[in-house]
A = this chain, B = another copy of it.
Amino acid sequence: MSLLVVGSIALDTLETPAGRREDCLGGSAVHFSLAARHFTRPRLVGVVGEDFPPRHVEMLRRCGVDVTGVAVQPGGETFRWSGRYRGDLQEAETLELKLNVFEGYQPVVPEAWRDSDFVFLANGSPVTQLAVRRQVPDARFVMADSMNHWIATAREDLLKLIESVHALILNHTEAMMLAGTPNLVAAAQAILGMGPQILIVKKGEHGAALFARGRTFALPAFPLERVVDPTGAGDSFAGGVMGALAQADRVDWQQLKRALLYGTVVASYCVEDFGTARHEALGRGDVEGRAQQLREMIAL
Contact = CB atoms under 8 A, between A and B. Distances in A.
Interface of A: 87-89, 176, 182-186, 189, 203, 205-207, 209, 216-221, 223-227, 257-258, 261, 295, 297-300
B183 A217 contact: no
Given A206-B207, A220-B218, A182 B297 contact: no
Contacts of A183: 224-227
A186 B225 contact: yes
A185 B220 CA distance: 12
B297 A225 contact: no
A224 B216 CA distance: 11
A133 to B, nearest CB: 30
A207 to B, nearest CB: 7
B203 A297 contact: no
Given A185-B225, A216-B223, 16 more contacts: A88-B176, A183-B226, A183-B227, A186-B225, A186-B226, A206-B207, A207-B220, A209-B220, A216-B297, A217-B297, A218-B223, A219-B220, A220-B220, A257-B300, A261-B300, A299-B300
A46 B174 CA distance: 44
Contacts of A218: 207, 220-221, 223, 297-298
Nearest to A293: B216
Interface centre among A87, A205, A206, A261 (most CB of B within 10 A): A206
Contacts of A217: 297-298
Contacts of A224: 183, 185
Contacts of A297: 216-218
A182 B223 contact: no
Contacts of A189: 225
Nearest to A186: B225
A21 to B, nearest CB: 20
Contacts of A219: 220, 298
Interface centre among A182, A209, A220, A295 (most CB of B within 10 A): A220
Contacts of A221: 218
